[in-house]
Amino acid sequence: MADNLLSLMTFFPLLGILILLFLPRDNGGLLKGVTLAVSLITFAISLPLAFDNVFTTSGGMHYREFYQWINIGDFFQMNYNIGVDGISLWLVMLTTFITPITILSTWDAVEKNIKGFMAMLLLLETGMLGAFISLDLFLFYIFWELMLIPMYFLIGIWGGKNRIYAAVKFFIYTAVGSLLMLVAIIFVYYFAQQSGALTNGFGIQELYKLDLPYNAQFWLFLAFGFSFAIKVPMFPLHTWLPDAHTEAPTAGSVILAAVLLKMGTYGYVRFAMPMFPDALPTFIPFLAFLSVVGIIYGSLVAMMQDDIKKLVAYSSVAHLGFVMLGVFAMNLQGLAGGMIQMINHGISTGALFLIVGFLYERRHTRLITEFGGVATKMPIFATIFMIVTFSSIGLPGTNGFVGEFLALMGAFQSGLRWYAVFATTGVILAAVYMLWVYQRVMFGKVTNPENENLKDLSAREIAIMLPLLLFIFWIGIAPNTFFSKMNPAMELMLEQMGADKVAVVEMHQPADGHAAGHTNGHADTNADHQ
């Protein structure tokens, strides 16, 4: 059992799909119940991971499984090579945690073809879990593409009015990135074979050890980075996100925000950055710049939205900017901030999409102007929305703060000081757009007669939100639960990324970085003082 825990967890949802196939198509309750049960069992299977203390002591890969899969002699090998470490651990947990919640949230929302919908959700879960645990580059690519398909159908079949456009846009955007990545993967493999370094398929731990020439790293990082940047999404490759989010059904939006976007950031941490450490110093200023632009841009655009869902979508762009900035800081604080912010974003933004979903189910509109004074009609909803809003704003004591704070602190300590200053303005802007929308939706008098009969949250809806609220406070107050298991893995990863090669200001030594050109002014003045 424990030997194959990860495989069991990953493929259990597929088993669920198999069960669904044999159930009658008309019995919606049964279908939903079975799906929920399957996702809950998946969660239960994954639980031992969260309680395993091996992660606190060792940063390497655990729960390894290795089987040969496609083996054409020396020409082509790929293996079923999976494992989990402190970095992927919480993302895996987030996935198994969020999926039952989304399934529960669609209880009344989906009417047509429930069977297909549920099957897609489960397929998506398998894809996401597989991508997080793959240690073989090619296997990763397969799962990466596998995620794309159910999401495409979720948007395209169960989406809103403009769903076809959104689904195609989402698909093509992502596919373009994926193809670039595929080319890069093939090239890496080719190169590894040439150098004779590869004995183990596309195993990333061996690819880490490849010493590619700078030129190759440059182009490969570009290809990988581009692909992941689309998924993150980083400015200016973000425009699929608002459309996809707006048109997707609530469950789709939640999973898209909570997990799928993390694929991009995770890809940077796991693949792009450690595999091509020499190219990093060249790209980091540029990427950090885009992250900061994303933060400010996303916030400003979010401010002016009239559709709540779009607002949340743009706020995602800003939040993920913090993640990326933290990751690019290339030090432990920044990386920890980035990683925890991924989880946070999954929880907070997922919760926000659920909240928008609640409103949408009641009123079938998402326009802010249609609402107003909802707080008087739905006090419990108002409270929950308020907590989530402040979590999204990053109020200390909630999860958002821990992530933003550490990410920014990391950035301040690295060569990204000036970027961090601008990124910090995002803290103000986040308050502006979130509070403004909260005011317009919840406060004031009920002006629209259609809002008179709004019902407060049902027990099911409260049950959906409670676990999320729990984690909002848990991460905010005792993040060490998470950090203690992430730290060893992050230290290893930073070593692999060659954190010392990048112009990071280490203790006792002032910045000398060539790459950190922008920061020189600041660092020099500091050096003068010494």
Partner 1 sequence: MYSNLWLIPFFPLIGSIINGLFGKKIKNEAVIGGIATGLMFLSFLVAAQNFFKLLGDKEKVHELVIASWMSVGNFQLNWELLLDPLSAVMIMVVTGVGTLIHLYSIGYMHGDESFYRFFSYLNLFAFAMLMLVLGGNALVMFIGWEGVGLCSYLLIGYYYEKKSASTAANKAFIVNRVGDFGFLCGLFVLFWALAEKGVWTLNFVEIAESGHLLESGGLLITVVTLCFFLGATGKSAQIPLFTWLPDAMEGPTPVSALIHAATMVTAGVYMIGRMNGLFAMAPATMMTIAIVGGLTAFFAATIGLAQNDIKRVLAYSTVSQLGYMFLAMGVGAFSAGIFHLMTHAFFKACLFLGSGSVIHGLHHAYHHAHLHDDPQDMRNMGGIRKKMPITFITFLVSTIAISGIPFFSGFFSKDEILWWSFGSTRGHCLLWVLGAAAAGMTAFYMFRLVFMTFFGEQKTDARAKDHIPESPFTITIPLMVLGFLALIGGYIGVPKILGGANRFHAFLAPVFEHAQHANEIHAHGSHATEYTLMAISVAIAIIGIFTAWVMYVKNPELPGKFVARFAGAHRVIFNKWYIDELYDFVFVNPCKKIGTFLWRGVDVKIVDGVVNGCAWVVKGIGSGLRYTQSGYLYNYAMIMVVGVVLIVGFFVF
When the beta carbons of 107 and 401 are compared against partner 1, the nearer one is 401
DSSP string, 300-311: HHHHT-SBHHHH
When the beta carbons of 396 and 517 are compared against partner 1, the nearer one is 396
- Sorted by sequence, the CB contacts under 8 Å of residue 187 that are 6+ apart come out as 216, 220
Task: Give min distance, CB of 445 to partner 1, in A.
Answer: 5
Helix (H, G, I), strand (E, B) or coil at 134: strand
When the beta carbons of 35 and 299 are compared against partner 1, the nearer one is 299
Tokens of 386: 């308020």
- At position 110, the amino acid (one-letter code) is V
For helices 480-497 and 86-105, what crossing angle results, to 10°?
Answer: 130
Task: Give min distance, CB of 466 to partner 1, in A.
Answer: 13
Task: Give min distance, CB of 509 to partner 1, in A.
Answer: 8
When the beta carbons of 272 and 420 are compared against partner 1, the nearer one is 420
Find, among 341, 228, 331, the residue nearest to 275 by Cα.
228
Task: Give min distance, CB of 391 to partner 1, in A.
Answer: 12
Task: Give min distance, CB of 75 to partner 1, in A.
Answer: 28
Q: How far is CA 298 from CA 423, 429, 435, in A?
A: 11, 9, 16
* Interface with partner 1 (CB under 8 A): 169, 172-173, 236, 238-240, 242, 297, 300-305, 331-333, 336, 373, 375-376, 390, 395-397, 401-402, 405-406, 408-409, 412-413, 417, 420-421, 424-425, 427-428, 431-432, 435-436, 439, 442-445, 477-480, 483-484, 487, 491, 505, 507-508, 510, 525-526, 529
User: 396-399 long-range contacts, Cβ below 8 Å, gap at least 24?
Assistant: 396/476, 397/473, 397/476, 397/477, 398/472, 398/473, 398/475, 398/476, 399/340, 399/343, 399/344, 399/347, 399/348, 399/471, 399/472, 399/473, 399/474, 399/475, 399/476, 399/479
When the beta carbons of 138 and 438 are compared against partner 1, the nearer one is 438
Task: Give min distance, CB of 238 to partner 1, in A.
Answer: 8
When the beta carbons of 66 and 473 are compared against partner 1, the nearer one is 473
Task: Give min distance, CB of 308 to partner 1, in A.
Answer: 15
Runs of H (alpha helix) within 74-201: 86-105, 114-133, 137-158, 163-194
When the beta carbons of 236 and 517 are compared against partner 1, the nearer one is 236
Task: Give min distance, CB of 380 to partner 1, in A.
Answer: 10
Radius of gyration of the chain (CA): 23
Helix (H, G, I), strand (E, B) or coil at 378: coil
Task: Give min distance, CB of 457 to partner 1, in A.
Answer: 15
Find, among 388, 358, 380, the residue nearest to 107 by Cα.
358
DSSP string, 47-105: HHHHT-THHHH--S-EEEEEEEEEEETTTEEEEEEEEE-HHHHHHHHHHHHHHHHHHHH
The Cα 517–Cα 285 span in angstroms is: 8
Task: Give min distance, CB of 510 to partner 1, in A.
Answer: 7
The Cα 98–Cα 73 span in angstroms is: 41
When the beta carbons of 3 and 524 are compared against partner 1, the nearer one is 524
Task: Give min distance, CB of 443 to partner 1, in A.
Answer: 4
Find, among 158, 161, 126, 157, the residue nearest to 144 by Cα.
126
The Cα 158–Cα 472 span in angstroms is: 29
Tokens of 303: 């401010």
When the beta carbons of 194 and 530 are compared against partner 1, the nearer one is 530
When the beta carbons of 48 and 236 are compared against partner 1, the nearer one is 236
When the beta carbons of 8 and 431 are compared against partner 1, the nearer one is 431
